[in-house]
Amino acid sequence: NIFQKIINKEIPANIIYEDKLALVFDDISPQAPVHMLVIPKKNISKLSDCEKKDSEILSHLLLVVKIITDKLGISDYRVVINNGSEAGQTVFHLHLHILAGRNFGWPPG
């Protein structure tokens, strides 16, 4: 999938943060002034495929959201995971959207 190619540096992305378990980069089609994607380096296609053994990765992804938003001085933001095509998932490699820089409505569309 396309995100595996970004992890492997086979296609370019504006990488914001990288560590052993995770990668953060700007979304190519931003839906807000700030729109980044946080992904595990492990190939997990969606949240519902996760197992108990993935708990370290899953908690790490949320911690990365906190680290990155702190670093960028972003206090108000929305984190979204689309799970499955009916929920809007188009890339089948688990990712958290971080959206910020504008007001967001609720419920989401």
Q: Are 21 and 42 in contact (CB under 8 A)?
A: yes
Q: Decide: helix, strand or coil at residue 85.
A: helix
Active site residue 35: no
Which is nearer to ligand 5GP, 60 or 98 (by Cβ)?
98
**For ligand 5GP, the closer CB: 53 or 86:** 86
Do 22 and 93 contact (CB within 8 A), yes or no? no
Taking the complex as a whole, the smallest distance from the CB of residue 5 to ligand 5GP amounts, in Å, to 8
Closest distance between ligand 5GP and the C-beta of residue 16, in Å?
11
First and final CA of the chain: distance in angstroms? Answer: 26
* Catalytically annotated residue among 35, 60, 93, 95: 95
Residues with catalytic roles = 95
